[in-house]
Amino acid sequence: MIKDSLLIKNGRVIDPVSRTDGIKDILCCGDRISGVSAGINEKASKVIDASGCIVMPGLVDMHVHLREPGREDKESVSSGTAAAARGGVTSVLAMPNTEPAIDSVENVELLKKIIHSGARVNVFISSAITRGRQGKELVAFELLKKSGAAAFSDDGCSVDSGDLLFKALVKSRDKGFLVICHCEDRKLSAGGAVNLGPVSTRMGLKGISAESEYRRVERDISLAAKARARVHIAHVSCAESVEIIARAKKKGIKVTAETAPHYFSLTEEAVLGYDTNMKMNPPLRRREDLEAVKRGLREGIIDVVASDHAPHTENEKEVEFHLAEFGVTGLETELSVAVTELIHGGVLDWQGLAGKMSLNPASILGIKKGTLSGGADADAVIFSPQEEWTVNAQDFVSKSRNSSFLGKKLKGRVRYTICSGKVVYAAE
Amino acid sequence: MSWVRKDLLGLEELNREEIELILDTAESFKEVSSREIKKVPALRGKTVVNLFYEPSTRTRVSFEIAAKRLSADVINIAAETSSVRKGETLIDTGTNIQALKADIVVIRHSFSGAAVMLARKLDISVVNAGDGWHEHPTQALLDMFTLKEKLGRIEGLRVCIVGDIAHSRVARSNIWGLTRLGAKVTVCAPRMLIPPGIEQMGVDVGYDIDEALSGADAVNVLRMQFERDAREAFPREMDYFRKFGITRERIKKAGGNIIVMHPGPLNRGIEIASDVADGPNSVILEQVTNGIAVRMAVLFLVSQANDKRFSAD
């Protein structure tokens, strides 16, 4: 018997690094994987039978709002990471739009303490780009990086000053850190609640144009090119953004991009009943945009699927549509939505999915995750790819229930989530 | 055909039969207002709450009179939109009204979708008296009732709606209702006041009022809210009148027989000339009168449907 060990038997192992795809066993000792091969017969202290299941590297979700510190009524590090575990996510990048914003070494240290005492999965920290996410004054990038910031983003806000963003990008190249851009020209989107077009017209709501997104995508990419820096574009939702990113990649600009499950599974039509759980920023767009996002995923234009998990209380959502907060939860449904739409929908194969949801975000963030190979961190998700389940508000472990998928039937159910060699979630 | 909805939230969701049922029911209620004793006991013992988050006199008074002519008890609540955020939520206000054992809430709200949201949360009936830019179903119903009274039909009529289409709930409800009953609708406005994708609601779009009026059986003239949304699109009121105002000359040029409607209150000399508003083509005051019959019909139908729903449980 190997002390403190875990043996995952007979699962179909998908590893995007070694391109493994086959029935194998995985032996974890402590927090590391010690071996992946067929027929491991060592005696482990815990054995999981993964027959009929897919075993993938634990998901790396690089766009998560844990809300702590400051808005523990919506979510906390503890509840948010428990939700992550239920969704097969073993690493999250926590966005800095907390209260206070994560924009100083002091606040990073505070968050690290909270993570240390309460996190159920790995939490990486994104600092803001500007103080208080106000878009006026750059943060102390080097110090923040040293204290543990894995990336920088003014998430929820675009850095309106092109000059300031350019300076941040130049520094990011020199000092080797990642800038993530939320692309939105608020002069174009202000007051909007849904996608601008026939749906906003029918609903009598102010629209958010695709221009408000893609013009900013265009600007941020050209600033990155000029700074010879890399840049990551958050939550791509429209066809034009996909086109712009495709062109930039072709030119060799170091841009990476992410989308969220709702952008490849839902269209603006879902908003027609004024369901505030369909209200997010950027908004659900047209069918053509959804198809473009899928094409972007298939053709490698979009590198990452991340949830943009944005928990809100019922009080903030059960109000007039115009007043309701933007954002939806996603940690507990993202794998299943991706399996349903991308795997069963024929957009990606398993290797592709493991790339988009674990290896690629890990590489972009420069963290050693996203692989199931000897010596790697023992982070894995084990799920039954065909099993159907119904999303039920009562089952969420997140503090919030503002999911776009309530009542929906999804395929692919997480059976176990393993983080650092420990079972952090097991389905009943 | 019987009415089964507990609420009236908009005309988009109604089929032709349902709209016709409201109009037919209104026709039978119209006579009540010309009786010596203007009252029938149809809603006796029922309580109607007018919950108005936006200042409105005519719609509120019209609903109040309609309810009273049906013998209902009526309570008026004027809530300030500005305090919505700080104070009680809309849902809490609604559930309180329900706890007071009211039977119907008539809601006017500045945010689109407010009536839909309230109706989802309440078991009692909700009637939309205008929500944001979304719908104002009873206004469109009374417009259609008036048209039908004047011309004998809706099917095949050509109706022009002119004004700030983008910010108009009256326009949207009229578009749904008229097209569902087989009328041909043209919306006409300055480019900036035509919302994107409006054609997908089944209308033609025109930017020249004389063209839009030519061959039309009726024109519905929207109130221009220069104090609000229309200002940025049309900085000078007089320019609007010159380009889009409904004048005697324009009526004459278009054939002279066009019926002129307006939901009120009028901006004389801005969207409509005084001599047109008061002239032979105008049915504006008849619309006001018909509003009572239409609202009586709506209150009656939703109340009956909800009574049935509960007795069926």
State how far the Cα of A249 lies from the Cα of A200, in Å rounded to an integer: 33
| Same domain, yes or no: B180 and B258 | yes
CATH code of the domain covering residue B109: 3.40.50.1370
pLDDT tens by residue, A161-213 = 999 999 999 999 999 999 999 999 999 999 999 999 999 999 999 999 999 99
What pLDDT is stored for residue B312 in this prediction? 62
Q: What are the Cα distances from residue B57, in Å, to A87, B47, B68, B125, B231? A: 53, 20, 16, 22, 23
| Rounded-to-10 torsion of CA B177, B180, B182, B183 | 30
Provide the shortest C-alpha distance from residue A213 to chain B (in Å).
Answer: 18
pLDDT at B289 over 90: yes
What pLDDT is stored for residue B81 in this prediction? 53
- Cβ neighbors of A233 (< 8 A, separation 6 or more) are A180, A181, A183, A217, A220, A221, A241, A245, A255, A256, A257, A258
Q: Which helix (H) or strand (E) holds A212?
A: helix A210-227
Span B75-84, mean pLDDT? 72
- CB–CB of A204 and B196 under 8 A? no
| Same domain, yes or no: B108 and B156 | no
ipTM of predicted assembly, 2 dp: 0.94
For chain A, list the domains and their CATH numbers.
Answer: 2-54+377-385+409-426 (2.30.40.10), 58-365 (3.20.20.140)
- pLDDT band with cut points at 50, 70 and 90 for residue B233: confident
Chosen for mutation from B11, B111, B172, B229 (greatest number of chain A CBs closer than 10 Å) is B111
What pLDDT is stored for residue A1 in this prediction? 80
Chain-wide mean pLDDT for chain A?
A: 97
What pLDDT is stored for residue B269 in this prediction? 93
CB contact A322 to B (< 8 Å): yes
Backbone dihedral angles phi then psi of residue A276, each to the nearest 5 degrees: -70, -15
Which tokens in the block code for residue B1? Answer: 């055909």
- pLDDT band with cut points at 50, 70 and 90 for residue B313: low
Per the structure, the complete domain to which residue B99 belongs is given by 16-135+291-312
Which tokens in the block code for residue A382? Answer: 């084990």
| Residue at B5 is within a domain | no
| Same domain, yes or no: B308 and B269 | no
Provide the shortest C-alpha distance from residue A199 to chain B (in Å).
Answer: 8
pLDDT at A23 over 80: yes
| Same domain, yes or no: B111 and B175 | no
pLDDT tens by residue, B190-230 = 999 999 999 999 999 999 999 999 999 999 999 998 777 76
**Active-site annotation holder among A303, A308, A377, A379:** A308
* Burial of A370: CB neighbours in 10 Å, binned 0-12, 13-18, 19+: buried
What pLDDT is stored for residue B225 in this prediction? 81
Q: Please indicate whether residue A308 is annotated as part of the active site.
A: yes
What pLDDT is stored for residue B234 in this prediction? 76
| Same domain, yes or no: B282 and B149 | yes
| Residue at B10 is within a domain | no
| Same domain, yes or no: B111 and B171 | no
What pLDDT is stored for residue B82 in this prediction? 46
Query: Which amino acid is located at A349 in the chain?
Result: D
| Same domain, yes or no: B152 and B227 | yes
Which chain B residues are closer than 8 Å to A204 by Cβ?
A: 112-113, 131-135, 169, 172
Q: How many structural domains is chain B composed of?
A: 2
Query: Which amino acid is located at A198 in the chain?
Result: P
| Residue at B239 is within a domain | yes
CB contact A199 to B (< 8 Å): yes
What pLDDT is stored for residue B226 in this prediction? 76
| Same domain, yes or no: B156 and B277 | yes
B89, B117, B196 ranked by CB distance to A201: nearest: B196
Q: How many CA atoms lie within 13 A of B300 on its CB side?
A: 24
What pLDDT is stored for residue A3 in this prediction? 86
Provide the shortest C-alpha distance from residue A315 to chain B (in Å).
Answer: 9
What pLDDT is stored for residue B256 in this prediction? 86
| Same domain, yes or no: B103 and B216 | no
Cα A275 to its chain centre, rounded Å, is 23
pLDDT at A388 over 50: yes
Span A62-71, mean pLDDT? 98
Chain-wide mean pLDDT for chain B?
A: 94
The residue among A151, A138, A139, A141 whose CA lies nearest residue A178 is A151
Residues 180-199 of B with CB under 8 A from A: 195-198
Backbone dihedral angles phi then psi of residue A74, each to the nearest 5 degrees: -85, -45
State how far the Cα of A304 lies from the Cα of A297, in Å rounded to an integer: 8
| Same domain, yes or no: B127 and B192 | no
| Same domain, yes or no: B177 and B219 | yes
| Same domain, yes or no: B216 and B170 | yes
Count residue pairs from A and B with Cβ separation < 8 A.
73
| Residue at B187 is within a domain | yes
